[in-house]
């Protein structure tokens, strides 16, 4: 059996790969940051270098 330890952030616009052990988990989905997990409510991006997500 294979265990997934890294995956793309669940935010559609985000380019980040997140380690599942360090991710922000919400509704059984894994996000790289609180901004992505909250749907970018305040328009802020995830803050990771090179990523321009800000849905």
Residue 4: band (very low, low, confident or very high) from pLDDT cuts 50, 70, 90: confident
Mean pLDDT score of the chain: 92
Q: Domain locations in the chain? A: 6-37
Task: Give the span between the Cα atoms of 53 and 43, in whole angstroms.
Answer: 9
The per-residue pLDDT for 20 is 95
Q: Decide: residue 37, CB within 10 A, 0-12 exposed, 13-18 middle, 19+ buried.
A: buried
Residue 42: band (very low, low, confident or very high) from pLDDT cuts 50, 70, 90: confident
Residue 43: band (very low, low, confident or very high) from pLDDT cuts 50, 70, 90: confident
Structure tokens at 28: 């059984």
Mean pLDDT of 3-30: 95
Q: Are strands 6-8 and 17-19 parallel, antiparallel or unpaired?
A: antiparallel
């Amino acid at each position: 059996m294979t265990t997934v330890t890294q995956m793309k952030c669940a935010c559609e616009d985000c380019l980040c790969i997140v380690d599942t052990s360090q991710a922000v988990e919400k509704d059984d989905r894994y996000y790289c940051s609180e901004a992505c997990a909250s749907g970018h409510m305040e328009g802020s991006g995830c803050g990771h270098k090179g990523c321009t997500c800000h849905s």
